[in-house]
Structure 1
């Protein structure tokens, strides 16, 4: 048996942390001397301590560590580790996006530009027969995963498409979370619904404002701001309906993000 200081030195874990684990029920001393009150630890407690440390370093909370130790369910612990892994990966992607935005902001400030300018035109868009997949996503960055899911269904049921695709954003406002997104793939005939996908007809739009966005997806926000200025000058039109987005060139067919080409479509009505 070892006193807490000795156990600390042998396991390379501070006395403070050993006391913290004791207080939270993660690692109780093997015994406590009745006369001196000294905490005494045993060698066979080291594997439990090591598990506490790697779970802590993996981002587990005290409650999650306690549960993993209490039930000794290896499969559940592995599932929790996978979940933590996905969270960390998403955090890394979020941080990369922040770095990219900083780079763009620095470039614009260095060039003396506060905004980029985009041309807005109006065209008539016909109606389309589509197979669609609509879902509430955690945020816009998850749209790529939904496209992969839709592609899997199309291949599984051998649905012939003409490879014309677009996204519809059904929220009336911009959402940072829980965004209502519908992915549409044009087809040339009617199909039975394949849950969760559905066949439907997307109505034509007489007046559709269109803006082409060149470069990285982060440029899209500036395109919407430019459209706001255009709409203010062309007050004979009012926004109506759900906006759309068509990625003509993206990660799947273009290696250079500077060469991406995205079309933003916003339905309008002409004021009387």
Structure 2
């Protein structure tokens, strides 16, 4: 009772920073950091001694800060959430953070897969998957396509699902054996917000385009450099490496147009990723 009475400032009980640190299990260093960043200012600062004092009422605010910090929020994000602590706003913020964390986990899992592949290939003395490059002509196709900006290349599956749902909802008579391929519209490689178009070949242009779903004819490609790659999608980089080496050896050819990708075997018709079969196509032209 003696200490509590001595720590009363301005009519309410406060604790010195060391006492507050013990009671909340937060280090003095972090409390000072939260003070410097404006997240948690002391309830009182003694003008003579400079001592920081904290109130019981501030404990709940500190718990919110720690929770947000431990779930990956930055200082600026914490400040925004604290100043708008309504259920709807915080719910949106948490959902956005969850999506960000899920994306980060997926990128880390991709790194682990690459490490496992490298370890496997080192023992097999085979650090690269070798792909043969062939040239062929690709005709014009009548297609139903869906083009969207998606978060990354691994999100392409969502486009195929959306296209499939549209075909089913419209009752379109498109055989499952129809050719399918993806076209990549970005001029260079991008890690985020990629421009991808997925296409399914149709017998005829059936109706007008709507809501991103388009019936049109693709251009004929006189010379397409193609590389097939076996195994999971992580191996696709090897196909591009093979194409780069082929272009280096055949300097009379140069890249033009938009590259395509055909998944001959994928998760829809093959359970084992090691048996996937993917074809990368890059239009080329022979210099005169």
Question: Do Structure 1 and Structure 2 share a fold, with TM-score over 0.5?
Answer: yes
Indicate the larger mover: 151-160 or 10-19.
151-160
Q: In structure 1, how many angstroms separate the alpha carbons of the residues matched to 2:252 and 2:220?
A: 20
Q: In structure 1, how many angstroms separate the alpha carbons of the residues matched to 2:116 and 2:180?
A: 31
- 2:203 alignment counterpart: 188
Structure with bigger gyration radius: 2
- 1:248 alignment counterpart: 264
- 1:153 alignment counterpart: 166
- 2:239 alignment counterpart: 223
Unaligned runs of 5+ in 1: none
Cα distance, 1:20 vs structure 2: 1.8
Cα distance, 1:10 vs structure 2: 1.0
Q: C-alpha deviations, 1:133-173, integer Å up to 9, x for none? A: 22344432232233333334333433333343110123344
Unaligned runs of 5+ in 2: 1-12
- 1:169 alignment counterpart: 184
Residues 178 and 34 (structure 1), Cα distance of their counterparts in 2 relative to 1, 3 Å cut = closer
Which residue, out of 144, 154, 158, partners 2:157?
144
1:202 and 2:218 are equivalent in the alignment: yes
- 1:261 alignment counterpart: 277
Indicate the larger mover: 117-126 or 80-89.
117-126
Matched position secondary structure for 2:57? helix
CA contact (8 A) 1:136 1:180 kept: yes
Q: In structure 2, how many angstroms separate the alpha carbons of the residues matched to 1:135 and 1:258?
A: 29
Q: In structure 1, how many angstroms separate the alpha carbons of the residues matched to 2:39 and 2:188?
A: 46
Q: In structure 2, how many angstroms separate the alpha carbons of the residues matched to 1:220 and 1:234?
A: 21
CA RMSD, Structure 1 to Structure 2 (Å): 2.4
Q: In structure 1, how many angstroms separate the alpha carbons of the residues matched to 2:147 and 2:215?
A: 11
Q: In structure 2, how many angstroms separate the alpha carbons of the residues matched to 1:236 and 1:67?
A: 57
Indicate the larger mover: 11-20 or 34-43.
34-43
Q: In structure 2, how many angstroms separate the alpha carbons of the residues matched to 1:22 and 1:232?
A: 59
Residues 257 and 16 (structure 1), Cα distance of their counterparts in 2 relative to 1, 3 Å cut = same
Normalising by structure 2, report the TM-score: 0.84
- How many aligned positions are there? 272
Q: In structure 2, how many angstroms separate the alpha carbons of the residues matched to 1:159 and 1:125?
A: 25
- 1:96 alignment counterpart: 109
Q: In structure 2, how many angstroms separate the alpha carbons of the residues matched to 1:67 and 1:234?
A: 56
Q: In structure 1, how many angstroms separate the alpha carbons of the residues matched to 2:18 and 2:278?
A: 63
Residues 238 and 6 (structure 1), Cα distance of their counterparts in 2 relative to 1, 3 Å cut = closer
Residues 23 and 176 (structure 1), Cα distance of their counterparts in 2 relative to 1, 3 Å cut = closer
Q: In structure 1, how many angstroms separate the alpha carbons of the residues matched to 2:195 and 2:231?
A: 25
- 2:55 alignment counterpart: 42
- 2:94 alignment counterpart: 81
Q: C-alpha deviations, 1:168-220, integer Å up to 9, x for none? A: 12334433444332111222332211112221111233333332211011221
